[in-house]
Amino acid sequence: MTRPPLSPRPDLADLEPYVSPQRPARWRMNTNESPYPPPPGLVDELSEQIAALALNRYPDKDARGLYRALAGYADWAADGLWAANGSNEVLMHLFLAYGGQTRTVLTFEPTYSLHSLIPRVAGTRIRNLWRDEDYVIDLEAALEEIDRSAPDIVVVCSPNNPTGNCEPLSTVRALLGAAPGIVVVDEAYGEFADPDESVRPLLAEHRNLVLVKTFSKAWRLAGARLGYMLADPALVDGMARVRLPYHLSTLTQAVGQLALRYSDETLGMVESITKQRGRLSVELQAMGIKTFPSRANFVLFHTDDADTVFNRLLERDVLVRNYSSNPALRGCLRVTAGLPEETDAFLEAMRWILDES
């Protein structure tokens, strides 16, 4: 291959692009999406609306209708809201506006890989601390690190992906008290946990808290690409500097508003999904497999030979996520909870694998 006319930025030369390995499989239990399509009423209304949308015109750049609806749903002032194309883009805007070369972010590994990748792309310095053996944040170590490196941004994922555990609110409170800058809490999976595990009530008393949410998981709209954050209006004010004009398409704005109108019906499937999460954990444990307690729509489990189990599951048309190359997740696989028949197929395949070995 000839040399390209220009190489990527030197600080990105050894950056691994994000990949979530995809393979053809009937049972797709690898990316924590919802197996349930959006409610039929939402889809019907959207189809009707599409004909009337002025797609020849640029969208409302401030997405006012969507912001009004979100503000009502989240019970938070519209000027303290920021929406973008998925929570990943919310995080990208946040790091472009508040990260960068003179700033440091603190993350707690193992966690969602984009929590390091996005700051890196935005040129931010990164400090990673390891979680303890139960995958919770070691608060003492975190406070020491905050004291030592004064990170401008601390990122907490709760429930944490891929481990599934929620961070105690006392930990988040302590981080908020010690951090010199902001603490970002990513609650992408918050709807699958109990409401009292959410940091939402802390927002009113902590100006340095940023809560990030997504429509991609419990809201059954991963394909629509919509996420948002709740924060102090002064912080939200800085975000407009880095967004591209008209970043939220007319279609995205329409879907978001409809989703909020159909919230009860949409989120009605959460209970059924958490039931499958329970089944996955209990049945895996009954097979003698270690599982990690989950508050999300997935279960992390440990096997002696994760690569073999991953491949044998694929032979049975079941695709899960393999984390075994991560030193903190050796032997670990993650399976998404969804339809009862997906659980059946996965458990049946696991029993077959164990019988064979």
Q: By CB under 6 A, name the binding residues for ligand PLP.
A: 32, 86-88, 112, 157, 161, 186, 188, 214, 216, 222, 227
Write the CB contacts of 188 (distance below 8 Å, at least 6 apart in sequence): 87, 112, 157, 161, 212, 213, 214, 216, 217
- Tell me whether residue 114 or residue 235 sits nearer to ligand PLP (CB atom): 114
Q: Which residue reads 């599934």 in tokens?
A: 164
CA atoms of 234 and 98, how far apart (whole Å): 12
Q: CB-wise, 248 or 350, nearer to ligand PLP? A: 248
Select 86 or 353, whichever has its Cβ closest to ligand PLP: 86
Measured from the CB atom, the residue of 157 and 350 that comes closer to ligand PLP is 157
Smallest separation (angstroms) from ligand PLP to the CB of 168: 18
E runs forming strands in 29-133: 81-84, 104-109, 125-130
- Token look-up 């749903």 returns 73
Contact 276, 305 (CB under 8 A): no
The least CB distance from residue 33 to ligand PLP, in Å, is: 8
- Which strand ranges, in their side-by-side order, compose the sheet holding 321-322? 290-291, 298-302, 332-336, 321-322
Q: How far is the CB of 77 from ligand PLP (least distance, A)?
A: 22
Q: Which is nearer to ligand PLP, 161 or 322 (CB)?
A: 161
Question: C-beta of 216: minimal distance to ligand PLP in Å?
Answer: 3
Q: How far apart are CA 323 and CA 327, in angstroms?
A: 9
Report the nearest approach of ligand PLP to the CB of residue 124 (Å): 17
Shortest distance, CB of residue 161 to ligand PLP, whole angstroms? Answer: 4
In whole angstroms, give the CA distance from residue 180 to residue 260. 35
Comparison of 222 and 251: residue with beta carbon closer to ligand PLP: 222
CA 149 to chain centre: 26
Say which amino acid occupies 316. Answer: R
Which residue's Cβ has the minimum distance to ligand PLP?
A: 86
